[in-house]
Copies of this chain bind each other. A is one copy, B any other.
Amino acid sequence: MGMVGGGPSAFIGEVHRMAARLDDRIELVCGAFSSDPYVSVSFGKELGLEEARCYGDYQEMIQKERMLPEGKRMDFISIVTPNHLHYAPAKLALDNGFHVLSDKPATLNLDEAVSLKEAVNKSGLIYGLTHNYTGYPMVKEARHLIRSGKLGKIRKVVAEYPQGWLSTKLEDQGHKQALWRADPQKAGLGGSLGDIGTHAENLTEYITGLGIDELFADVSTLVEGRALDDDTNILVRFNNGARGVFYCSQVSLGEENALAIRIYGTKASIEWKQMEPNTLLLKYLDKPTEIFRTGHQYLSESAQKASRIPPGHPEGFIGGFANLYSNFAKAVSDFKTGNYKEIGEYDFPTITDAVRGMQFIETTIESHKKKTWTKMNNLEL
């Protein structure tokens, strides 16, 4: 793969590289790591790449890789830049025959996402989105339990993602991660909403299979002077009549990455917490709650396959992230060998999730401004 972004100070770039590496199915062969061509090249060399494939920018990378013989050139690009730099490289890559794996949210706004979807469809290539929390084994087990009818009809979902790291105005202190996230030109309409709120939305849809019908939002900026939201609370109604509460916050001081989801059905209920990812609770009305744990043979095939080690040896964030990379790599490999199946067979978020995430952001902002329940227009995509 070739990487766009992920230079020296970018935490998420290294995460993507570790995730790509873990299962030994993917090799980083080139990259355009920084907006500064000099930094990009020197960083690529530090990573052990051939100097010739350390590019000054993504345009150059795509152009030059395209010229390389098949077998040698990269198969796909991994985009790990700030949000405003997702669309252009993705589009260019697709137009030049490269598959794309992109960080989330997919684009700066919904228009870009819709346009990207057209490009994906036209290209016939593979597009993946790193909503990484769907990669955890117990998230897959949760989805399996619901698909297999264990919960009955779903009545209620509570999905929350509180963080505390933006409790002070870090963006004024030269903090690079905070800087672009608090800049509407780079982050888009949503602050905490785009950064982590979309994880709550995507995780809910991945596990439950439900779609959001309408929502009512309270989008707030609680640190004075910040340009984007840092706390967003949403009431949700799903397309099957279920009710939901979503909230995300980056000013919940003292919280780390407390993403959690509780799903209540007519027969059973589920609770999962990202910070204790190897445990899934299955609750009943009239018998003891069961603790499902990663790695056991009583789990579904999808959960077992997402696990690398036996029960009781904790599997973490990088392992979950790597599952997306490995599933994407499998799809790319099948594509190359002419064995490609439907994208839904490969278990990673796709361009559909990409568009839906942008719809979610824009619907939330619109509801907040209009102070009304607002339909999430599920375009036939």
Contacts and interface: CB of A to CB of B under 8 A. Distances in A.
Contacts of A291: 288-291
Contact of A316 (B17, B162, B290, B316): B316
A11 B307 CA distance: 12
A141 to B, nearest CB: 10
Given A310-B11, A314-B275, A314-B317, A269 B254 contact: yes
A288 B290 contact: yes
A267 B311 CA distance: 19
Instruction: Please report whether the interface of chain A is mostly helix, strand, loop or mixed according to DSSP.
Output: loop
Contacts of A277: 314
Interface in A13-66: 14-15, 17-18, 21-24, 47-48
Q: Which residue, of A249, A315, A316, has the highest number of chain B Cβ atoms within 10 A? A: A316
Interface string A284-321: 11111111110111100000000011111111111100
A178 interface: no
A372 interface: yes
B317 A231 contact: no
Interface in A93-136: none
A243 interface: yes
A373 interface: yes
A269 B252 contact: yes
Contact of A288 (B163, B298, B308): B298
The 3 closest A-B pairs by CB, nearest first: A256-B312, A254-B283, A316-B316
